[in-house]
Chains A and B, each alone.
Chain A
Amino acid sequence: MVIPAYYITLAIITGIYIILALSLNIITGFAGQPNMGHAAFFGIGAYTHAILTTRFDVSFWLAALAAAVVAGAVGALLGLISLRVREDFLAITTIGINFVVVSVFLYHPFFGQAFGIGGIPMPSLFGRVLDKGGLLVLVLLAVLLVVWISRRVEGSWFGLALESLREDEQAAEAVGVDTRRFKVMAFTLGTSLAGLAGALYASFMSFISPGDFAFSLSITILCMAVVGGLGTIRGPVVGAIILSLAPEMFRFVLDYRLLVYGGLLVVMMRLQPAGLLGRGSFLVRLGQRLLGRRETAPVP
């Protein structure tokens, strides 16, 4: 069966967005640390991968791993910064990091400046180069991996510690949670997964440039997670699917795309800030009523 290339492309992009939204969710959803510069780590991963594969002949697999590691290392740095800088300050700092990172890509010859980096090869397995369909499978596997990681985090002591520091940092400290350590861990994990997505993206596009990782992408990723439901796993997944497919499905509103997008954000925040599938949201409660189940006990 031959699937039209268009759908494969769409699926790959959507898959990459899902990974980005889920990875951001670990930092901003579970740990509650605002990160409005996530695209920067996506870019760091992409550029690391691109440079290693095009200039140093490193295999796709090793380069992808390196992409995750490098992005995670820089993310750890951001985590350390987050220890000194809280909430609103942190949000703005992450914006700053996004701008600075993109500027570095744009201006430094090592990163190809405005010309970007091209000729990034597709992955090869057992000597054969994968085609787009093969890459799609790879992306889907990566999505499954990230979903699995998210679920493990959610159900683990690590995740519970993150959530406690999200809810009330001082109270978390008072019950023995080493909030510093966990903040840095959350940033490291989230950003390294974004870096992995970057490697996949670089291979897929075969050409990357600084503009691909601009601040507007960070906003998009954040909105996917928030609109879907920050702090849950289903939320970012659904949010990513909706927001990456919507422009395609609503081609006819292409000219009004941003208008709809902006309006959607405002309406969502006013009506359902927990996200479409966030805890206690309208849709979730509707689903529970239909299925006869409840998540947490009702108020007596």
Chain B
Amino acid sequence: MPLLETRGLCKSFGGLKAVNNVSIAVEEGEILGIIGPNGAGKTTLFNTICGVYRPDAGQVMFAGQPIHGLRPNRIARLGIGRTFQASRPFRGLSVEDNVRAAYGVRFHKSWRTLWGAHRADAARRRAMELLEQVGLAHLAGMEAGQLSLGLQRRLEIARALALEPRLLMLDEPAAGISHEEGLQLMDLVRRLRQQGVTVVLIEHNMQMVMNLCDRLVVLSYGEVIAEGKPADIGRHPAVIEAYLGKEVAHA
């Protein structure tokens, strides 16, 4: 059974079909890349899966359970973590508090613990562990808004990991970061996979996509136009057409 599955997922805005009958399956333990030209609906797909949008039609199944129509926070707690295209840390909070805010969800089971001091040691330790993983532990006290873009993205990942997700969805994690940081990111993603986290990422950085992903799904105008191994996708005429136009594809 695939970890995440969408069946005939549709989402429209006004008359525009942003996601049109998308059916994909993500197997546990794989790194799946979602690529496609700008405006193909990749982020909308993410948003629909994660509950930010309600699908107009179709289903989303996570570990066999339907999650479409659930609120985003519920989906997050069920085990799907995500980052955003435009990096969105909690700017006014410290790096550490960013992670703790996410981690705190584990404690919000009862009313009593809601009032528990969040600066307690156990929570601190866990937050620092997560920050170590992404290499931000030394900046724990810093205000998140002051971080560079690359570091903000890493913070978002640490934050998403605080919920111990089974599935991590990264939206253009490599956008706007240096080559060096990109390599570190790829390392991180591989390490996460080794720890048992399934990763789905939207990316434009072809080098990263080709080297990192086990499989690719290509979206264009809201529809899946190709699926398969990176090497095969690179030669796929429909994909080339989507990116470069008809003439080039059939040249």
A interface with B by C-beta (< 8 Å): 152, 155-161, 163-164, 166-168, 170-180, 231, 279, 296-297, 299-300
Contacts and interface: CB of A to CB of B under 8 A. Distances in A.
B34 interface: no
A300 B148 CA distance: 11
A176 B113 CA distance: 16
B212 interface: no
Contacts of A168: 88-91
A156 B117 contact: yes
A158 B142 contact: no
A18 B119 CA distance: 27
Contacts of B105: 175-177
A33 to B, nearest CB: 15
B154 interface: no
Interface of B: 50-52, 71-74, 76-77, 81-82, 84, 88-94, 97, 100-102, 104-105, 107-108, 113-119, 139-143, 146, 156, 159-160, 162-163
A175 B102 contact: yes
Contacts of B163: 175-176
A152 B117 CA distance: 8
Contacts of A157: 104, 107-108, 113-116, 118
A296 B142 contact: yes
Closest 10 CB pairs of A and B: A175-B102, A176-B105, A167-B90, A173-B72, A297-B141, A164-B101, A176-B76, A157-B104, A171-B88, A176-B77
A300 B71 CA distance: 38
Contacts of B82: 174
Contacts of A180: 71
Given A164-B90, A176-B163, 20 more contacts: A156-B115, A157-B113, A157-B115, A157-B116, A158-B115, A160-B100, A160-B101, A161-B108, A163-B97, A163-B101, A170-B72, A170-B84, A174-B72, A174-B73, A174-B82, A174-B160, A175-B76, A175-B105, A175-B160, A299-B146
Given A158-B114, A297-B141, A175 B91 contact: no
Nearest to A152: B115
Contacts of B93: 163-164, 167
Nearest to A298: B142
B104 A160 contact: yes
Given A168-B88, A172-B101, A173-B76, A156 B114 contact: yes
A155 B92 contact: no
Nearest to B107: A157
A171 B143 contact: no
A160 B160 contact: no
Contacts of A152: 115
Contact of A175 (B92, B101, B139): B101
Contacts of A300: 139, 142
Q: Name the residue among A174, A177, A180 with the largest chain B CB count within 10 angstroms.
A: A174
B108 A296 contact: no
B151 to A, nearest CB: 10
A300 B138 CA distance: 11
B115 A173 contact: no
B207 to A, nearest CB: 27
B162 A175 contact: yes
A76 B105 CA distance: 22
Contacts of B108: 157, 161, 178
A220 B113 CA distance: 35
Contacts of B162: 175
Contact of A163 (B74, B84, B90): B90
A269 B26 CA distance: 50
A53 to B, nearest CB: 31
A242 to B, nearest CB: 24
A41 B74 CA distance: 32
Contacts of B74: 178
Given A157-B114, A157-B115, A168-B88, A299 B142 contact: yes
A171 B85 CA distance: 11
B88 A170 contact: yes
Q: Name the residue among A160, A161, A172, A297 with the largest chain B CB count within 10 angstroms.
A: A160
27 contacts: A155-B118, A156-B117, A157-B107, A158-B114, A161-B104, A163-B93, A166-B92, A168-B88, A170-B52, A172-B90, A172-B101, A173-B52, A173-B71, A173-B76, A174-B50, A174-B73, A174-B76, A174-B81, A175-B102, A175-B105, A176-B77, A176-B105, A177-B73, A177-B101, A179-B73, A180-B71, A296-B142
